[in-house]
Amino acid sequence: MKPLPRVLPALITPFDRDGTVDDNAHRHNLEVLVSRGAQGFLIAGSTGQGPYLLQGQRHRLVGVGRKALGPDSFLLCGVQAESVDQAINQIEEAIDGGADALLLMTPTSLVRGNDELVALFYRTVADAVPLPVFLYSVPSTTGYELPVAVAVDLATHPDIVGMKDSGGDTERIPGLTADAQFLVLAGSSRALHQSFASGAHGAITASANYAYELVVEALQDDGAQQRLATLAGVVEGFGLAGTYAAAEEVGLITGTMRLPLTPLGGNDRDAVKALVS
């Protein structure tokens, strides 16, 4: 696996009004964030409306990114699947598009809380695909936090190389990083500094869309962490629409959101604009 950057924006996905991926807007967003220092991206993650992507759109997002950025940029592709077969179908699109690695969200619908079956899902997918796999625990979305003991056991698989931990509990980090080769990426903007101090490799956050430089600084500076926590607390308090509004205010093109998601408006939009402008 090529070197993993410290900070990867969990990139937004811009759709046209008819629901297709806006290639030009996507390319623009990648290039803007590269100009601010980004060397890698999570594409088709939760912030990228990954669970709502249609067949072929994951391939399109990754492929446009690879062509725009060339071979050196690190492209991590999000996978949100309830079964192994669904995951492999999404992964085939990611591979064909040129992804470097995969971020697999914990399955939930029929196995939520069943640690044994969740682990089986990860092992079976990792056995079947040629790319490195990162685990993804995001309890605010899935209602399930991957236990540290399960993640540590999965880390013994040669192709499971790391994890994005978005729960914000930094006391989990030392246990997850007991194996120095297992790369943990913090996903909670309020806890980046402490996560990094506890052994995390870096961060993947929605906030890196609208405050990339501050996210980088927050890893090593507590003052920056406090500013980021305040900013992200307000912006992301409005849900995904807040992130898209903030991203647009700093020069990204957000396009439309896929229903039932709707863009932020009115006084809420004004509150976000006042913070990031």
User: What's the average pLDDT block by block, 10 residues per block, for the chain (277 residues)?
Assistant: 96 94 97 97 97 96 97 97 97 98 95 95 98 96 95 96 95 90 96 96 98 97 97 95 97 95 93 90
Residue 2 lies in a domain: no
pTM of the model: 0.95
Residue 31 lies in a domain: yes
Residue 51 lies in a domain: yes
Distance (Å, whole) CA 168 – CA 187: 7
Q: Which of 2, 67, 164, 273 is catalytic?
A: 164
Residue 59 lies in a domain: yes
pLDDT at 246: 97
Distance (Å, whole) CA 160 – CA 272: 38
Looking at the 3D structure of the chain, how many domains does it have?
A: 1
Residue 234 lies in a domain: yes
Residue 1 lies in a domain: no
Parent domain of 44: 7-276
The CATH number of the domain where 263 resides is what?
Answer: 3.20.20.70
Contact 49, 11 (CB under 8 A): no
What is the SS3 assignment for 150? helix
Contact 136, 99 (CB under 8 A): no
Q: Catalytic: 164?
A: yes
Residue 138 lies in a domain: yes
Nearest one of 249, 219, 221 to 234, comparing CA atoms: 249
